[in-house]
Copies of this chain bind each other. A is one copy, B any other.
Amino acid sequence: MKLYFNPASPYVRKVRVTAHELGLTGRIELISISLTPVTPHEALRSNNPIGKIPTLITDDGATFYDSPVICEYLDSLAGGNRIFPATGTARWTALRRQALADGIMDAAVLMRYEEAARPKELRWQAWIDGQLLKVRTALDALEGENLGGAFDIGTISIACALGYLDLRFASEAWRSTRPRLAAWAAAIGKRPSLEATTPAVS
């Protein structure tokens, strides 16, 4: 399988952590690309019309996107319902947490585009403030959740969202008012799947 990839993308990291947890890393060839909405990547776009990473191409040419779909597909390759709980409260909690963490990523990535890609004279502070409110509200909610238990698609997504904040918004210092979440992140961060995929600042 081939995975369109960039080490900074938190969505890609979800897929890589999932693959690592499931023992599938050796079956995935990484294709490193760089792109933004204003600098699309043509070969990617011919496989995923939305032009986003991660995008997975299987050995028989099938295409999978976006990150929730790829992660569920990898889970099925490993027997199924290992990182996606099959039914009931465990499933809904995991899926809600994935949506919450993906929402943090979405807001943070929009802030990043505003601050790093958009010409300076076209930046809108109210937009950044609105996205940052989403991030902070979500982090406050996570501080109140018991994240112990299984490392599933919900907690994988949360770990990757927090890692992206550390990469791009270190000055936000999210740990300072959220000690429980910080302790959870420190403990879970020792898992080999997260250590092997920690992005470096570039």
Contacts and interface: CB of A to CB of B under 8 A. Distances in A.
Given A63-B96, A66-B103, A140-B49, A134 B73 contact: no
A37 B131 contact: yes
Number of copies: 2
Given A38-B126, A122-B122, A127-B38, A137 B66 contact: no
B134 A51 contact: yes
A186 interface: no
Contacts of A130: 36-40
Interface residues of A, number: 47
Closest 5 CB pairs of A and B: A50-B103, A37-B130, A49-B138, A49-B137, A49-B141
Interface of A: 36-40, 45, 49-52, 62-66, 68-69, 72-73, 76, 87, 92, 95-96, 99-100, 102-104, 106-107, 118-119, 122-124, 126-127, 129-131, 133-134, 137-138, 140-141
